[in-house]
Amino acid sequence: MIRLIGYFFGIGTTLALIVAAGVAIYISHLAKDLPDYEVLAKYEPPVTTRIHASDGALMAEYARERRLYLPIQAVPDRVKAAFLSAEDKNFYNHPGIDVTGLGRAIIVNLQNFGSGRRQVGASTITQQVAKNFLLTSDQTYERKIKEMILAFRIEQAYSKDRILELYLNEIFFGFGAYGVAGAALTYFDKSVNELTVAEAAYLASLPKGPNNYHPFKHADRALERRNWVIDQMVENGYVTREEGDKAKAEPLGVTPRRNGSYLFAGEYFTEEVRRQIIARYGENALYEGGLSVRTTLDPKIQLIARKAMQNGLLKYDTLRGYRGPATHIDVSGDWGVPLGNVKGLEDVPEWTLAVVLDSSDTGLSIGLQPARQVSGDIVKERVEGTVSKEDMGFAMRHIVDGKSVKAKSPADVLQPGDVIFVQKNEGSDSAFSLRQVPQVEGGLVAMDPHTGRVLAMVGGFSYAQSEFNRATQAMRQPGSSFKPIVYSAALDNGYTPASVIMDGPITIQSGNTTWTPKNYDGTAAGPATLRSGIEKSRNLMTVRLANDMGMKLVVEYAERFGVYDHLAPYLPMALGSGETTVMRMVSAYSIMANGGKSIKPSLIDRIQDRYGKTVFKQDERGCEGCNAAEWKHQAEPDLVDNSEQVLDPMTAYQITSMMEGVVQRGTGATIAELGRHIAGKTGTTNDEKDAWFIGYTPNLVVGLYMGYDTPKGLGKGATGGGLAAPIFKDFMRVALDGTPNIDFQVPEGMKLIAINRKTGMKAAEGEAGTIIEAFKPGTGPADSYWVIGMGADGSNGAGGALSPQATQAIQDGGGGLY
């Protein structure tokens, strides 16, 4: 018996050794092909890029995987506790594999063998790190063995905290969120530091299967799993039983954070920044690089700009009548569902969609578009309201087959089923006013003239309606708002504000083409000073001035100011016939406002990489003495501005003073009501297709235009002074409120001399009709009366002939009417 036992023992030992050798050979074979776990030391996951306004407000986030990387020291203990309780309670004690948990899983799997149930795993957090970072997700024993081997190696190479840090930042939580910081924002719109025990427990329940515990599709299952995690936290001693019971009594409370843009009214600005980052660094840097972008946007000024521009567009549009409903739906049954599926304007929250339920002589009965719940379902409650005849007065003149028709009652305009936009009347819960999305569009830019920082940008009425940015992408004729560039070139080259030019008929001949420009009002005022020419926006004077000094000089200054890259040297271009953008025009006016220094428009102040290192800074000025260790009665630090001087500072003041006259008594006189030191210029293009106004104070430049995307006339009498200037005025009234009324600084050495407004000659003491004019050293009022553009015989002067190439430009229109 003893020999028999020994015999079997020997056979068993031999077989065991053979099996062990085979297992060892197999494991050794698998170990040869294992990936290099040392790459974890250089782990740089895709991280969300965040864009901020100048005050730090979050504007937008961009990511393929919404993740914010957090070092383990920044993760609160209760969040760690939730994940350890849910995934690996023995994490800080095992060597990479939890033998107890593994044994328990083997027993369960043996019991379930053949039942069709899914096999359970016993992966530790370390094993999950090995799988997520280095292996595939194949459900095979081979992958599981590789996972265990890597787990042992990872545990020997990295600290427990480093392994937990990798895990918490890599795992997927659903809703496009990766990492615990991204999940906290995505599910609860909170930072991890703000998470409650219940919220942390819910997030910890998600890695097992985000879709299985979806907060809306499987709310009961999600609540059950969350409560199980809370129980584990209690059992492991992380929270008390009382705290656990309180947490379990709380609802899930998931409030998903919306994607894209977060700062109200900043969509056009944000999109422009997005395009610039892609152009500079590429798409991968934007969507994976974890950049922190600080923009120049001032949220307060942006809101003012949006409101002023929208009000101006709406005022013009409503005066042209009502064009009809947005669409039509069936209201014979439950109108809430079809109405809920109509897309509105999410960036115009003052408005809501509604459906006409009944129309009569006195007004409309309407049903408001139901809101959507967090889950996406339309709310069941139906809210109704009314629109009185008085609150839709503009629609009594409505457009039918392209013609304006006067209606007798609201029932003539709208019928049941018509979907419309309405706005709640102030002080009422059920009374609304009819609204209409304007067809006319426009763009606006507000800029700091000293730095080029764009403080606000409006690219159209609604980004939700049209993403085309009319402030930066729309190429439009600037019309007479280009004239200050022509006058600056003249003032910089021997002319003075008191130079007299003939305002009389002129004909330009080019081959068989004749161009006869006219002033907006069709009249000619005779000889007048340059100041008068720009204040009254006289086309004939501008053409004569450009002809007298030569278009090559005008072209040089237009390109020097950055208005155009290449301007054709034809006389019609002096009246703003070339196409450019609002951004470029505002940049050009900034040069005049800042004393003649070139500026580069900037939407971005600074860009930092994921580690906080500054990789881009817009302000390139040097600062002498800024880094002194202490103050030893030395001089204050001095910012060194190396910007190119593209215009004589004295010329800049002269053109500014002349444009102050535009505001005080010229085509922009409506702005004088503000009582501020403001310079500016109106602009209206041929056939009143565009209306412009660009103006500035010493520290703020604002420019805008109004016009149809497919250019067509705005209507007879529609001018920059009548349409654009009031929008500028509305903006400045609010934007400058509470700020000092700073005057433009007169450069040292300039002479201020009283002249006769009409003759431009020095005025006698006490003479009527005079004005104080600024002259450069060595210049002054003329000693004798001389009129540019008048022949020796007193004729108006025909002007020079254009080259044949100018024919097409003349036929395209002279631009610059008013």
Tokens 């799988």 belong to 131
- C-alpha 315, offset from chain centre: 25
Residue whose C-alpha is closest to residue 208's, from 166, 180, 173, 232 = 173
* CA 162/CA 185 separation, integer angstroms: 23
Identify whether 87 is a catalytic site residue: yes
Among residues 61, 87, 199, 271, which one is catalytic? 87
Pairing state between β 431-435 and 384-388: parallel
3-class SS of residue 774: strand
| Closest by CA position to 51, among listed 255, 276, 256 | 276
Q: How far apart are CA 816 and CA 577, in angstroms?
A: 7
N-term to C-term CA, the chain? 122
Q: What's the distance, CA 440 to chain centroid?
A: 21
Give catalytic status of residue 165 as yes or no: no
CB 391 within 8 A of CB 435: no
Give the residue from 73, 123, 90 showing the smallest Cα distance to 236: 90
Q: Where are the alpha helices (DSSP H) in 594-648?
A: none
Whether the Cβ atoms of residue 520 and residue 469 lie closer than 8 Å to each other: no
Q: Which of 123, 205, 359, 480 is catalytic?
A: 480
Distance from C-alpha of 398 to C-alpha of 392, rounded to nearest angstrom: 11
- Residue pair 158/151 in contact by the 8 Å Cβ criterion: no
The length of the chain, given as a count of residues: 818
What one-character DSSP code corresponds to residue 722?
Answer: I
Strands (E) in 40-187, as ranges, are 49-52, 58-62, 172-174, 177-178
Residue that has been written with the tokens 């929250």 in this structure: 349
Cβ atoms of 660 and 653 closer than 8 Å: no
3-state DSSP helix/strand/coil percent for the chain, to nearest 5?
Answer: 40, 20, 45
Encoded tokens for 593: 């406002």
**Cβ neighbours for 87, distance < 8 A, ≥ 6 positions apart:** 124, 125, 128, 204, 207
Geometric angle at alpha carbon 564, from 559 and 568, rounded to 5°: 85
Coil, strand or helix at 782: strand
DSSP, residue by residue, 438-457: -S-EEEEEEE-TTT-BEEEE
Residues 385, 333: contact at Cβ < 8 Å? no
Supply the residues annotated as catalytic. Answer: 87, 480
